[in-house]
Amino acid sequence: MLPGFSRRTVDAAGVRVHVRVAGEGPPVLLLHGYPQTHLIWHGVAPALVAAGHTVVLTDLRGYGDSDKPPSDADAEHAPYAKRAMARDQLLVMRELGHERFAVAGHDRGGRVAHRLALDHPEAVSALAVLDIVPTRHAFRHADAAFGLGYYHWFFLATGNGIPEHFIGQDPDFWIRTRMGARHHGGTPFDPRAVDEYVRCFSDPAAIHASCEDYRAAAGIDLVHDDEDAAAGRLVDCPVLALWGGHSFVGRHYDVPRIWRDYASDVRGHALPCDHYLPEEAPEETARLLTEFFRER
């Protein structure tokens, strides 16, 4: 599905990260969300290559064909803190020879990208976040609508192996119904990509790791976010926020206004789709990212 992209594994301080690379020119790192892998970018990445970028696609730790570090002994779920996940990506880019680069992240990948820009501002030249508001804002303003629309945040963060048990009974059902419920018009999901998501998510280690991702988000990630807020730290590179006009994010938040509380230079656009912008609206997503990164 990604012709011309080479495949390799990069050791990021002991965590093996699955990587695909193509193109020449200014580097762009693309990060996927839940429950996908790097393949969510299959309709976007080739356009960025054609526009003159070196494009790096990775599977986040815990997802796809990247390592799933153990975390059961860590009460804070720190191995899946966005700080740890962001450092993986920084080390990958350094290993590939890129000291400074642009980054775009969808869903969970957007949260990793946000942390990457905060923790390593010298490395990130531009940040694009797709269909999210900051984790801290989402939790601090959660209401009944959020609880119903984003019930999986609370379900996946539950302890005692509960979500792992239920998802593990039928991961195919979980993936297909979860994605289908958040698709509205636009390009259908490519069955080959969905099959790959199911393959990767059928690994019990991937199910557990993804739950740890959400457990960290409800705990240690908020600690880090609160520390940044108390210190007045903002993302200081240009930020592009994209969201689906039919998504929960698009219907419930003033996305650019919220991001301006977390970054100093923000612009934004709604796209005619639901949550999965790179798959539902690949042409529009590629065009807006190309225009944004061209300016940097």
pLDDT tens by residue, 83-141 = 999 999 999 999 999 999 999 999 999 999 999 999 999 999 999 999 999 999 999 99
Residues marked active site are found at 107, 275
Q: Is the pLDDT of residue 295 over 80?
A: no
Tell me the residue type at 151.
Answer: Y
Which range among 70-79, 210-219, 234-243 shows the weakest confidence by mean pLDDT? 70-79
- Decide if pLDDT at 293 tops 90: yes
pLDDT confidence tier of residue 54, bands split at 50, 70 and 90: very high
Percent of the chain scored above 70 by pLDDT?
100
Q: What amino acid occupies position 52?
A: G
Q: Which domains does the chain have, with CATH numbers?
A: 6-294 (3.40.50.1820)
Q: Please give the mean pLDDT across all residues of the chain.
A: 97
Task: Tell me how crowded residue 71 is: count the other CB atoms within 10 A of its CB.
Answer: 22
The pLDDT of residue 74 = 79
Q: Looking at the DSSP assignment, which residues form a beta bridge with residue 6?
A: 21
| Residue 230: pLDDT band with limits 50, 70, 90 | very high
Q: Binning pLDDT at 50, 70 and 90, where does residue 41 land?
A: very high
CA distances from 116 to 29, 128, 130, 195, 205 (A): 11, 12, 15, 30, 25
- Best CA proximity match to 210, nearest among 241, 170, 167, 242: 167
* SS3 track for the chain: CCCCCEEEEEEECCEEEEEEEECCCCEEEEECCCCCCHHHHCCCHHHHHHCCCEEEEECCCCCCCCCCCCCCCCCCCHHHCHHHHHHHHHHHHHHCCCCCEEEEEECHHHHHHHHHHHHCCCCEEEEEEECCCCHHHHHHCCCHHHHHHCHHHHHHHCCCCHHHHHHHHCHHHHHHHHHHCCCCCCCCCCHHHHHHHHHHHCCHHHHHHHHHHHHHHCCHHHHHHHHHHHHCCCECCCEEEEEECCCHHHHHCCHHHHHCCCECCEEEEEECCCCCHHHHCHHHHHHHHHHHHHCC
